[in-house]
A = this chain, B = another copy of it.
């Protein structure tokens, strides 16, 4: 059993490099920090390295201040086991995988069905709600007691990846875990506000502007939004990842099957980030894959080089074929 092999590796090694995917969000952060905390509780050493810095709103997470950015001076980094959580492939770590020059064993803990088993030791559970659900199981299997810090990390990841216990990945087991975690001084509303709120006014205005330009196909099965360069530049500070809120807003349209958000890259590159959500009928992982992206059946994304108008046409046509 893969969980047993992973536990053996954790017990065997002393120094861990822990990472998660680029575009850090609640589950990536929660699972890497909960893993870090687990290793520390075992009296071992660990360092968390990410391609990006901490995204806006997540500084409440325990150990968030200890995250090291890949670009920082990492010459003297020393580890004997490389751990990737919530990554479907090694490239999802950004450049962080390059730190494993000496080809140390790689632990791969993930819940993406598209995971390519890049690890030396792989533990992939596609029906799990989140990577945090798996790290929770790790605590239990290793009999490492939970505490307020680990519970806060794990709860946050589950909250984010289940959209507050409402997405189809939410199971009875997910709620059982939440019930267990709530025994450790978890304040759901505070965490919810940290993660899904507390945005600068300019961000909230930007979201409202994007929403007000909601577009649909004639049947109302396909809903899309766009955030062009000009709009994004007009509102200077963009801390928050707006995608989730915009997509969620579109999902409340009666009869909708797929919601898409097109976001122009603000950098010099002419490219568009595309996020997909499906209500179940259409496999948006398949659609993202045709544009060299990926994700899950119900939530996926990709980045497509080119101009917004052309990309929009291409992507929407692809979805309409499946509707």
Contacts and interface: CB of A to CB of B under 8 A. Distances in A.
A166 B182 contact: no
Interface in A295-314: none
Nearest to A254: B198
B214 A212 contact: no
A167 interface: yes
A136 B198 CA distance: 34
A199 B254 contact: yes
B178 A183 contact: no
A165 interface: yes
A4 interface: no
A208 B200 contact: no
Contact of A193 (B199, B208, B212, B251): B251
Contact of A252 (B164, B182, B196, B251): B196
B165 A188 contact: yes
Nearest to A211: B208
A78 B200 CA distance: 57
B214 A205 contact: yes
Contacts of A180: 172
A120 interface: no
A168 B187 contact: yes
A140 interface: no
Interface in A139-191: 164-168, 170-176, 178-180, 182-183, 187-189
Given A196-B252, A198-B254, A208-B214, 20 more contacts: A164-B165, A165-B178, A166-B188, A170-B189, A172-B180, A172-B182, A172-B183, A174-B179, A175-B178, A176-B179, A178-B178, A193-B252, A201-B220, A201-B253, A201-B254, A204-B214, A208-B211, A208-B213, A209-B212, A211-B211
Interface of A: 164-168, 170-176, 178-180, 182-183, 187-189, 192-193, 196-201, 204-205, 207-209, 211-214, 216, 220, 249-254
